[in-house]
Structure 1
Amino acid sequence: MYFLINLLGILVVVGVVFACSPNRRNVKWKSIGVLFVVELLITWFMLGTKIGTTIIDRFAAFFSWLIQCANDGTAFVFPSVMANENVDFFFSALLPIIFVVTFFDILSYFGILTWIIDKVGWVISKISGLPKLESFFSIQMMFLGNTEALAVIRQQLVVLKQHRLLTFGLMSMSSISGSIIGAYLTMVPATYVFAAIPLNCLNALLLASILHPVDVSKEEDVVYVPPKEEKKDFFSTISNSMLVGIRMVIVILAMVIGYVALTSAVNGILGFFIHGLTIQKIFSFIFSPFAFLLGLPKHDALYVAKLMGIKLATNEFVAMMDLKTQLKSLPPHTVAVATTFLTSFANFSTVGMIYGTYNSILGEEKSVVIGKNVWKLLVSGMAVSLLSAMLVGLFVW
């Protein structure tokens, strides 16, 4: 019975996103269907085959090494801080962004990352029939995370028309930063973290194509490639990447502090009128029907709904720390769907992060498209998290 409920949940999520779309007639259902089949095959491969689990283990090892390299740089400047057993969010999650952006810009400089994204993105675009740049961006998020991917394609974003910029904002709600995967792995099972990463990226493309379908002409359906004369020398490139990274750190830091503080203020106001009422509890109540649609028994569904409320109102770190304490007492299906759902940046703080990134890259005039469509970003982010969790849930019982 729970399997059928889980399957029904997939249809409900897609239906809700379709109902929220202001341009339903232009939805390309053939492309949506193809992407969905691809996701089912990917999920089966990752969770149902030995080769898939081996690949996940290798990715876990690579990212652990990458984060350690970033931490070595941070420890050189802040040795006493990094020597502590518990390292603050700023040092463990934000500062590594500087190195991650630089590392992947180096791969792009030598054409390695560009080649990978070009080939995989071309395959996704050909299979789905969706625009090339959007398809490529979904793959970039798989490797880079949302804000880092936006930074890497900053030259491409500058030449886009306003209506397409919203698509990248919607998709950016559904990724994670490579710099914090290591932190996730200390709290929740690696298998479901790495299963969520490609699913989130493809679901971001799938649901953005329903929520905000756009027609792209053949002339516009290109990936912007800077002319060779604009290519800087190696050391100028990596120096500029580091400066881009630190600017992103500052912007993200400001947005996270501001939105968490705002949540605290709202909770204080709500508690003044009704004792114990918080925005987290309100969101938990709202999302409880979707938690049941994950194929969970009543007790587990209420607990996962609580995690959903915590994630949306604050961030996934707070929710994961709660889940960590309950892992041994929860059945495999509940652990799988909860971990997959939490493995993304879909919350209010991320809206601020995306707006801040757009503002730093494109300027205030073009970043307005994010501020005017906050509700769409939230719908997209939460729907992607739900859909990814439901897909993983089909294969774990």
Structure 2
Amino acid sequence: MSALQIQSGLGLLALALLAWVLGGCRRGVPWRVILAGLVLQIVLAAALLHIAPLRAAFALIGRAVDALAAATKEGTTLVFGYLGGGPLPFAEPFPGAGFILFFQGLPLVLVVGALSALLYHWRILPVVVAALAKVLSGTLGIGGATGFSVAANVFVGMVEAPLLIRPWLARLTTSEMFVVMTAGLATISGNMLVVYAFMIAPVVPDAAGQLLVASLIAAPASIVAALLMIPPRPGEVPDAGEQAEAPRLYDSAMEAVVRGTMDGLQLLFGIMAMLIVFVALVALVNMVLEPVTGLTLQVIAAWLFWPLAFAMGVPLEHVGTVAQSLGIKVVVNEFVSYLQLATSGGQGLDGRSRLILTYALCGFTNFGSVGIMLGGMTAMVPERRADIVRLGLPALVAAMIACCMTGAVVGMLVAP
């Protein structure tokens, strides 16, 4: 085991300690569950990264993403012509000059949204989620409804997963509610997984499989971080046998395709608007900061997140670059961080550091996502509004720690 792998292992323990300290070092932390959660992260990652048949299975996911991208290009070319990826009517001045994100990258959200809805209607997705929920509930002792929501977050967003357990939401304990919220921010939806895999495929081998592994590991990581910060109160025992079931959302396959497409359209325009606004706001703040202090938000973020980057086992010469990407993820969103990783040719990072960063960025851990989650969950259970709002920012912190835990785990298992 190399020195950097040992650094990642010690960093994983340091991140767990950080979550405990930030939670106020509260009593009642279920240490057996915490240990089981840490072991489960390592076992899952080791199995998915090093067992040949599983690696081959995840390689197929990359081919599926390529197929989805090619199929989507057929549609965008028909609708948008050369803007959507068709033959250019002029000579391309440099490679990539003809790529327009909104017309060629983001439409994948529409296709994946329709496909996800169809898989849900055919009960394929609910079966997978239920199986993962049983693993989480059985090994980590969380309630069935909480486990179902966490498992669903591997495939859907931070609002859709709690919606699947809406009948149980009002009855969740504070600790369980915090687990649900943390998991929502520590993972990404299937729609965005495909988009990000398409973006970073040139610089991260087997990008789709790696992102899915990251989201799977983030499930137990989010439970560990959440329980360390806000453990169950004395005498508060979750009903581990209570198992939620995915409700039927569509009456037919055609309705699933239509509604999935419409939901994807709303998400596509939301992404576009958020990118424009947040990038513009960061640029505006930098216009004020830089002339006065000589600093930008990106530089400040690199300082603040330096310890987290180091804890994941990144070499010293690359810590600043990784820290800056983590900061951009929190201040703006992970889309911009992945886009920067893709367009910069890997930002000068070695392969292992790029992989660690890919895992650490895999989560909706940003202020905009917190606002979306709070709006959605308070609408579902207005009677728990005070609890949900109070837990919003702590959930962002716990989710960020959980994402860095996934980076540390992969750092342990991948040699320099």
The TM-score bracket by the shorter chain reads 0.7 to 0.9
Where does 1:27-46 land on structure 2 (aligned, <5 Å)? Answer: 27-46=29-48
Q: How many residues align?
A: 390
Q: Cα gap change, 1:94/1:168 in structure 2, threshold over 3 Å: closer, same or farther? A: farther
Aligned twin of 1:156: 165
Aligned twin of 2:367: 348
Q: 2: distance between equivalents of 1:365 and 1:182?
A: 41
Q: 1: distance between equivalents of 2:47 and 2:373?
A: 32
Work out whether residues 225 and 399 of structure 2, in 8 Å CA contact, stay in contact via their aligned partners in 1. no
Where does 1:35-114 land on structure 2 (aligned, <5 Å)? Answer: 35-83=37-85, 86-92=98-104, 94-114=106-126
Work out whether residues 267 and 279 of structure 1, in 8 Å CA contact, stay in contact via their aligned partners in 2. yes
Q: 1: distance between equivalents of 2:268 and 2:323?
A: 31
Q: 2: distance between equivalents of 1:369 and 1:67?
A: 41
Q: Cα gap change, 1:104/1:369 in structure 2, threshold over 3 Å: closer, same or farther? A: farther
**Structure 1 residue 379 displacement after superposition:** 1.0
**Structure 1 residue 387 displacement after superposition:** 0.6
Which of 189, 197, 208 pairs up with 2:226?
A: 208
Deviations 1:341-364 (A, max 9, x none): 2333323333344345547x6388
Deviations 1:94-133 (A, max 9, x none): 4433333332222222222212211222122112211222
Q: Cα gap change, 1:167/1:296 in structure 2, threshold over 3 Å: closer, same or farther? A: closer
Aligned twin of 1:273: 292
Q: TM-score, normalised by structure 1?
A: 0.83
Q: 2: distance between equivalents of 1:296 and 1:250?
A: 35
Supply the AA of the counterpart residue of 2:261.
M
Aligned twin of 1:5: 7
Supply the AA of the counterpart residue of 1:129.
G
Which of 207, 215, 238 pairs up with 1:197?
A: 215
Aligned twin of 2:138: 126
Q: Cα gap change, 1:317/1:116 in structure 2, threshold over 3 Å: closer, same or farther? A: closer
Which of 328, 342, 354 pairs up with 1:310?
A: 328
Where does 1:197-346 land on structure 2 (aligned, <5 Å)? Answer: 197-214=215-232, 215=236, 217-218=238-239, 221-226=242-247, 232-275=251-294, 277-324=295-342, 325=344, 327=346, 330-346=349-365
Q: Cα gap change, 1:376/1:108 in structure 2, threshold over 3 Å: closer, same or farther? A: same
Supply the AA of the counterpart residue of 2:352.
H
Q: 2: distance between equivalents of 1:152 and 1:170?
A: 12
**Structure 1 residue 303 displacement after superposition:** 2.6
State whether structure 2 residue 404 is matched by structure 1 residue 386: yes
Supply the AA of the counterpart residue of 1:81.
L
**Structure 1 residue 6 displacement after superposition:** 1.9
Q: Which ranges in structure 1 are unaligned for 5 or more consecutive residues? A: none
Q: 1: distance between equivalents of 2:32 and 2:374?
A: 32
Q: Cα gap change, 1:120/1:89 in structure 2, threshold over 3 Å: closer, same or farther? A: same
Q: Cα gap change, 1:186/1:22 in structure 2, threshold over 3 Å: closer, same or farther? A: same
Q: 1: distance between equivalents of 2:23 and 2:114?
A: 37
Aligned twin of 1:146: 157
Q: 1: distance between equivalents of 2:337 and 2:164?
A: 35
Which of 174, 179, 186 pairs up with 1:174?
A: 186
**Structure 1 residue 53 displacement after superposition:** 2.2
How much is the aligned-residue C-alpha RMSD, in angstroms? 3.3
Work out whether residues 145 and 168 of structure 2, in 8 Å CA contact, stay in contact via their aligned partners in 1. no
Q: Cα gap change, 1:156/1:374 in structure 2, threshold over 3 Å: closer, same or farther? A: closer
Q: 2: distance between equivalents of 1:294 and 1:225?
A: 36
Q: Cα gap change, 1:203/1:219 in structure 2, threshold over 3 Å: closer, same or farther? A: closer
Work out whether residues 263 and 279 of structure 1, in 8 Å CA contact, stay in contact via their aligned partners in 2. yes
Where does 1:14-33 land on structure 2 (aligned, <5 Å)? Answer: 14-21=16-23, 24-33=26-35
Work out whether residues 67 and 96 of structure 1, in 8 Å CA contact, stay in contact via their aligned partners in 2. yes
Deviations 1:314-335 (A, max 9, x none): 3334434544546495444323
Which of 114, 128, 136 pairs up with 2:148?
A: 136
Deviations 1:184-226 (A, max 9, x none): 3234232643432321233123322333445565399331554
Task: Name the structure where helix makes up a greater proportion of residues.
Answer: 1
Supply the AA of the counterpart residue of 1:184.
I
Work out whether residues 121 and 135 of structure 1, in 8 Å CA contact, stay in contact via their aligned partners in 2. yes
Work out whether residues 143 and 240 of structure 2, in 8 Å CA contact, stay in contact via their aligned partners in 1. no
Q: 2: distance between equivalents of 1:135 and 1:382?
A: 20
Q: 2: distance between equivalents of 1:231 and 1:291?
A: 43
Q: Cα gap change, 1:285/1:67 in structure 2, threshold over 3 Å: closer, same or farther? A: same
**Structure 1 residue 167 displacement after superposition:** 3.4
Work out whether residues 70 and 96 of structure 1, in 8 Å CA contact, stay in contact via their aligned partners in 2. yes
Q: Cα gap change, 1:93/1:367 in structure 2, threshold over 3 Å: closer, same or farther? A: farther
**Structure 1 residue 390 displacement after superposition:** 0.6
Q: Cα gap change, 1:178/1:68 in structure 2, threshold over 3 Å: closer, same or farther? A: farther
Q: TM-score, normalised by structure 2?
A: 0.80
**Structure 1 residue 10 displacement after superposition:** 0.9
Work out whether residues 189 and 339 of structure 1, in 8 Å CA contact, stay in contact via their aligned partners in 2. no
Percent identity reads: 22
**Structure 1 residue 285 displacement after superposition:** 0.4
Which of 179, 183, 199 pairs up with 2:199?
A: 183
Deviations 1:349-392 (A, max 9, x none): 33344345547x63888677665444323312321221111100
Supply the AA of the counterpart residue of 2:68.
L
Q: Cα gap change, 1:278/1:137 in structure 2, threshold over 3 Å: closer, same or farther? A: same
Work out whether residues 356 and 408 of structure 2, in 8 Å CA contact, stay in contact via their aligned partners in 1. yes
Q: 1: distance between equivalents of 2:296 and 2:127?
A: 48
**Structure 1 residue 92 displacement after superposition:** 4.7
Q: Cα gap change, 1:213/1:99 in structure 2, threshold over 3 Å: closer, same or farther? A: farther
